[in-house]
Structure 1
Amino acid sequence: MFYNQDLALRFPKGRFAMWSVYSFTGASILASIVFSLLLFLSIDDDPVMQLLFGGLAVIFELGKFFAWYEVGERHARRNYLGMFSALGFYAVLAAISIGGSVGGINSATNKAQEHVNVQQSKVNAFNMQIEAIDKQISLNNTAAEKYIQMERIATGVTRIQKENSRLREEQQTLAMQRDNLPLVSQGSVIGLIESLARSLNIEAVTAQLGLVVFLSVLLDFFAAFFVGLIGEENRFRHQFRNLKPVTIEGFTPIGAENAERLTHFSELDRLDEPELSPSQVYSPYEQAVNALSSNQVNCSKRAVSKYLNITNDEVDEIFAQLFTEGVVTQKANKHYQWQGVTSQA
Structure 2
Amino acid sequence: MIDSHNKRIRHPKGPFAMSVVYSFTGASILASIIFSLLLFLSIDEDPWMQFLFGSLAVIFELGKFFAWYEFGERLARRHITAALSAFSFYTILAAISIGGSIGGINSATNTAQSVANVQHNRSAAYDLQIDAIEKQIDLNNIAAQKYIDLNRIAVGVTRIQNENTKLRQQQLELAIERDQQPVSSQGSVLGLIGSVATALSIETKTAQLGLVVFLSVLLDLFAAFFVGLIGEELRFSRTLKLQHKNKQGVNDNNDEQGSSETIESEMNSTISPLSRSEDLIAQAINLFSRDELRCSKKALADKLALNAEDTNQLFSQLLEKGLVIQKPNRHFVWQGEAA
Give the TM-score, by structure 2 length: 0.71
Distance 1:203 1:259, change over 3 A: farther
User: Could you tell me how far apart the structure 1 residues matched to 2:253 and 2:164 are?
Assistant: 106
1:238 aligns with 2:238: yes
CA offset digits 1:270-293 (Å, max 9, x no partner): xxxxxxxxxxxxxxxxxxxxxxxx
**AA of the residue aligned to 2:50:** Q
> Once the 2 structures are TM-superposed, how far is the Cα of residue 173 of structure 1 from its aligned partner?
1.1
Distance 1:257 1:234, change over 3 A: farther
**AA of the residue aligned to 1:41:** L
> Once the 2 structures are TM-superposed, how far is the Cα of residue 259 of structure 1 from its aligned partner?
7.5
User: Could you tell me how far apart the structure 2 residues matched to 1:125 and 1:97 are?
Assistant: 41
> Once the 2 structures are TM-superposed, how far is the Cα of residue 230 of structure 1 from its aligned partner?
0.3
1:174 aligns with 2:174: yes
User: Could you tell me how far apart the structure 1 residues matched to 2:7 and 2:217 are?
Assistant: 33
> Once the 2 structures are TM-superposed, how far is the Cα of residue 11 of structure 1 from its aligned partner?
1.1
Unaligned regions of 5+ residues in structure 1, if any?
Answer: 246-251, 261-345
Match in the other structure for 1:105: 105
Match in the other structure for 1:154: 154
Alignment coverage as a number of residue pairs: 251
Give the TM-score, by structure 1 length: 0.69
> Once the 2 structures are TM-superposed, how far is the Cα of residue 243 of structure 1 from its aligned partner?
2.9
**AA of the residue aligned to 1:139:** L
| Larger CA Rg, structure 1 vs 2 | 1
Match in the other structure for 1:47: 47
User: Could you tell me how far apart the structure 2 residues matched to 1:137 and 1:191 are?
Assistant: 38
> Once the 2 structures are TM-superposed, how far is the Cα of residue 7 of structure 1 from its aligned partner?
10
User: Could you tell me how far apart the structure 2 residues matched to 1:11 and 1:236 are?
Assistant: 9
1:254 aligns with 2:248: yes
1:135 aligns with 2:142: no
Match in the other structure for 2:30: 30
> Once the 2 structures are TM-superposed, how far is the Cα of residue 151 of structure 1 from its aligned partner?
1.4
Match in the other structure for 2:207: 207
Q: Which has the higher contact order (CA 8 A, sep 6+)?
A: 1
Match in the other structure for 2:265: none
User: Could you tell me how far apart the structure 2 residues matched to 1:76 and 1:39 are?
Assistant: 35
1:16-95 equivalences under 5 Å are: 16-95=16-95
CA offset digits 1:63-122 (Å, max 9, x no partner): 000000001101111111110000000000000000000000000000000001000101
4+ runs deviating over 2 angstroms: 241-245, 252-260
Distance 1:128 1:47, change over 3 A: same
Match in the other structure for 2:122: 122
> Once the 2 structures are TM-superposed, how far is the Cα of residue 241 of structure 1 from its aligned partner?
2.3
User: Could you tell me how far apart the structure 1 residues matched to 2:239 and 2:8 are?
Assistant: 11
**Mapped contact 1:7–1:236 kept (Cα < 8 A):** no
Distance 1:51 1:118, change over 3 A: same
Distance 1:253 1:222, change over 3 A: closer
